[in-house]
Amino acid sequence: MANSRKRPKPRPAKGSKARPAKGPVDPNKAQVGRRPSRPGFLGLIGLMWIAVGVAELFILDASWRFVPAIVFVGIGVFFLRGAFVTVLRREEGNRSS
């Protein structure tokens, strides 16, 4: 039976180095990685999605027009939620500094 044979264990590559141990985290250190988007931009995108959803509801003349309208408005609400959370995080960060 082929499954009864033992498989060789994976070995690290010859040139790999061990990762340094993680030390204590400095809260004053700058943020690493991508910065969050501006809340005004997220709010604008959210309002545009909601406007498209409302316009689609009145412009489209099909029986299933509610489905894309709900999807478009839902996407807009997610963007507005992101803008709101970004504002809260910035206020929280300013309080703790």
Query: Amino acid identity, residue 55?
Result: A
Judging by beta carbons within 10 Å of its beta carbon (0-12, 13-18, 19+), is residue 83 exposed, middle or buried? Answer: buried
pLDDT of residue 83: 94
pLDDT score at 40: 93
24-82 pLDDT per residue, tens: 766 666 666 677 789 999 999 999 999 999 999 989 888 888 999 999 999 999 999 99
Residue 57's H or E segment, with its range, is helix 39-59
Residue 1 in this model has a pLDDT that exceeds 60 = no
pLDDT for the residue numbered 89: 84
- C-alpha distances in angstroms, 64 versus 40, 60, 61? 33, 9, 9
Domain ranges of the chain: 36-92
Q: 79: which DSSP letter? A: H
Hey, which of 2-6, 17-21, 35-39 has the most confident mean pLDDT? 35-39
Using CA atoms, how far apart are residues 87 and 94, in angstroms rounded to an integer?
Answer: 11
